[in-house]
Amino acid sequence: MNLKQMSLFCFGILGALGAKSEAIDSTRVYQVDEVIVQASRMERKLKNLPQKVEIISSELIRSIPSENLAEVLKRTTNLDIIQYPGLSATIGMRGFSPSAHSRSYTLLLINGKPAGTNNLATINIDNIEHIDVIKGSYSVLYGSDAMGGVVNIITKRGSAVPEGQVSVESGSFGYRKLAANFTGNHGKKLAYGMGYSRQEQTKDYRIGQKNLLKIQDVDKLILDKASYGDAMDNSQYELNSASAFVNYNISRQWRIDAEGSYTFAYDAETAGNYWGTSGQSKKDVNRLNLYVTLERNTEKNHLRFSPFYTNDQNPNYSDNTDKGFISFKSTVKEYGYQLQDNFKLGRLNFLLGTDLKIYDYESNRFSAIGTPADPYKPNNKFTNVAAFTQLAYSISSLDVNAGIRFDHFTYNIEANEGLKAPEAEASYNTLNPSVGAQYQFLKNFKAHASFGTAFSVPDAFKVAGKYTVFGKSYVGNPDLDPEKSRTTDFGIAYSSEKNSFRFDLSYFQTKHDHKIVEEKLASGEYTYTNANKSNMKGIELLSSFNLGQFLPEKPELEAYANFTWILKNDFTQLAGTEMLTRDMQYVRKANGNFGLNYRHDKINMRLNSRYIGSRLERDSFSNTRTGIIAANYYAEGGYKATDKILQHPEYLLFDYSIGYAFTEKVNFGVTVSNLLDENYSEKDGYNMPGRSIVAKLAYKF
């Protein structure tokens, strides 16, 4: 890094004493503690929750350059992202590595119900009111997959008066977007709304041409020196999303809400990798989400019944040509209900609930048009019945909550003649507690601590059944336990008199047990067993400071920084008969965002920097990229050069946006993503877009 770059970097750090970039509306930014955290299922205010929670407001979402939910989260929170060209992105949290090829350890919800997908790139951001991000093991309220945490998307609702908005966007790489939505009402009882958006990228994007931080020659070989300024072939896409909702107040106490969305894309290109050696193809996206909530709300209790249904279909093509045919199609259905009653007894809140969820997977594979082939695994499903309770108590300066959840799972494997798989069934139970407390002292300080467990239910075919695929025979293990995590975190927070200065410093430790791995039996068959475990430790800093309070016109000028440092992240792996302890792959050693928000009169600006720490990945392209030798491989943390592990470098990205309100109804804005044209990757072999510019014009009516 040269002197000019170092000065810029230091200015960003010094100017941003810490940061939670929550909102940019000066009338709301310092009232974030009053936001109701719906992911708590008890409608608790943020200030009363001991668990580590971050709120991403609609104002902040609109202020940052973002084509999808993955872009929003990685520019506002310290999460690990794996992102590919071609509408594919998944998330990891607090040392849990993200995966694009299996269920996630971070639970993604929409209004507290299953989102029906782990793919952040296909979530419509135009319909989001705000996002709750709960960090740490939190299965007590939502069950499986909340080992790293929960991301709960809260959608928009109707307003007191009819309103709507139409916006158009245009920018680099042939990017275009059209979005429209409106909400209306009929008297005081009925509210309704609809929305639609279509976005597309009609040209292959270009990769960045430089690196702000100094990187070694081997790092440039990892990125490939030829990639600087080059195009990422086969990276075009289009994505459509339609949504609608109806809210009806049946009486003073009873209310029913219904909402639905349909997300679809056709012939979205998948790049494969930068070199185009494999995987260049295309895919379709078809996802339907339906949610209904019937509730009765009185002064003393709040009863809620919420059935849900999601259907996610993902056809993949044999190649990216016009002659390509659907070679594989998977369908995942999730349906069931949530039933809960929240009682208020003075300072005590008492929640009782039961959940029913059915996860149904089926797939079809084809070797040619109209020619079926054996699938990769048999069709399967599990049924999950759960009961839970949680108590929350607040008195003076003390807030306490505690809960416990019991889950029962029943698995079913369908018979498949081609896979030589007979029908099979299995079942098991799991219990998960959670507890948290926080205490306010010296008026503006707060100490908080929490402990929780979580689990990830194994796929049905790993628990029951017997099948053969590609000549490899598998036998389910009915004694297989769910993967478990136990997280402890504690910290101290401070908020000044008018919340103009805020910070939260927290330490967390997570133990991940019973990690599921594949094991070869003496018979030559393969099964699944609980062998691996991992440990994660880290520190998180969130802070912000309103510099505008010192200026004459008192504008909002918020400096912020938001960092996570992973102090330890290793796992114990069974390698043959030997247990090896190694550093975790795909997890960055540090993540951070820092920058400035400015809002005054008609102008709104945001300068954000994202720091991406180094990570480890196995070299899957040693036969393709040249110049990397044995001495370049990572030979620490339990690895040898022969393991071919690469340590990817750290990166620093800047984004800038500016908006101007011509009138109360007309707004114009320009965003520049990757302002300094950084060449970087979220996943090895998939270099991300370089500098891009998008202009947006919006009209409210």
For residues 161-180, average pLDDT: 94
Separation in Å, CA 433 to CA 451, 485, 643 = 8, 11, 39
- Measured distance CA(259)–CA(343) in Å, rounded: 26
**Residue 615 gets which letter from DSSP?**
E
Instruction: Quick: pLDDT tens for 505-542.
Output: 999 999 998 888 888 888 888 998 887 788 999 999 99
Residue 102: pLDDT above 80? Answer: no
* Rounded percentage of the chain residues whose pLDDT exceeds 70: 94
Beta-carbon contacts of residue 584 (< 8 Å; ≥ 6 apart): 95, 97, 534, 536, 569, 570, 571, 616
Question: Among all chains, which residue has been given the structure tokens 């970039």?
Answer: 21
Using alpha carbons only, what angle is made at residue 284 by residues 126 and 198, rounded to the nearest 5 degrees?
30
Instruction: Quick: pLDDT tens for 4-13.
Output: 443 344 434 3
The residues facing 599 across adjacent strands are 556, 604
Beta-carbon contacts of residue 242 (< 8 Å; ≥ 6 apart): 194, 195, 196, 261, 262
Structure tokens at 135: 């960090």
Mode of pairing for the β-strands spanning 281-297 and 398-413: unpaired
Structure tokens at 581: 């302890």
Instruction: Quick: pLDDT tens for 384-419.
Output: 999 999 999 999 899 999 999 999 999 898 988 888
Residues 207, 227: contact at Cβ < 8 Å? yes
Residue 30: pLDDT above 50? Answer: no
Instruction: Quick: pLDDT tens for 432-477.
Output: 999 999 999 988 999 999 999 998 888 888 888 788 887 788 888 8
Among 113-122, 357-366, 466-475, the range scoring the smallest mean pLDDT is 466-475
Q: 325 vs 460, which has greater pLDDT?
A: 325
- Measured distance CA(20)–CA(38) in Å, rounded: 19
- Per residue in 457-476, is it b (16+ CB within 10 Å) or e — as a string? bbbbbbbbbbbbbeeebbbb
Q: Can you give the pLDDT at residue 550?
A: 86
Q: Can you give the pLDDT at residue 32?
A: 67
Mode of pairing for the β-strands spanning 106-110 and 149-155: parallel
Separation in Å, CA 274 to CA 85, 174, 437, 574, 647 = 10, 20, 49, 33, 18
Q: Can you give the pLDDT at residue 576?
A: 66
- Measured distance CA(515)–CA(533) in Å, rounded: 6
Q: Can you give the pLDDT at residue 25?
A: 34
Mean confidence (pLDDT) of the chain: 88
- Three-class SS of residue 106? strand
For residues 203-225, average pLDDT: 95
What's the domain range around 206?
3-700
- Three-class SS of residue 42? coil
Task: Provide the CATH number for the domain around residue 546.
Answer: 2.40.170.20
Phi, psi of 214 (to 5 degrees): -70, 130
* Rounded percentage of the chain residues whose pLDDT exceeds 90: 57
Structure tokens at 593: 């965002």
Instruction: Quick: pLDDT tens for 257-304.
Output: 999 999 999 999 988 899 988 778 999 999 999 999 999 999 899 999
| Most confident region among 69-78, 302-311, 585-594 by mean pLDDT | 302-311
Beta-carbon contacts of residue 116 (< 8 Å; ≥ 6 apart): 287, 288, 289, 310, 311, 312, 332, 334
Residue 674: pLDDT above 50? Answer: yes
| DSSP calls for 379-409 | -EEEEEEEEEEEEEEEETTEEEEEEEEEEEE
Residues 351, 389: contact at Cβ < 8 Å? yes
For residues 39-48, average pLDDT: 80
Phi, psi of 225 (to 5 degrees): -60, -30
Residues 241, 263: contact at Cβ < 8 Å? yes
The residues facing 257 across adjacent strands are 247, 293
Residues 457, 104: contact at Cβ < 8 Å? no
Residue 27: pLDDT above 60? Answer: no
Among 98-102, 385-389, 488-492, the range scoring the smallest mean pLDDT is 98-102
Structure tokens at 302: 């709040």
Beta-carbon contacts of residue 536 (< 8 Å; ≥ 6 apart): 94, 95, 96, 508, 509, 510, 511, 512, 566, 568, 569, 584
Number of domains in the chain: 1
Structure tokens at 167: 């916006």
- Measured distance CA(554)–CA(550) in Å, rounded: 7
Confidence of residue 103 (pLDDT cuts 50, 70, 90): low
Within a 10 A sphere around the Cβ of 181, how many other Cβ atoms?
A: 19
Separation in Å, CA 616 to CA 77, 272, 392 = 21, 20, 41
Q: Which amino acid is at 280?
A: Q
- Measured distance CA(547)–CA(17) in Å, rounded: 11
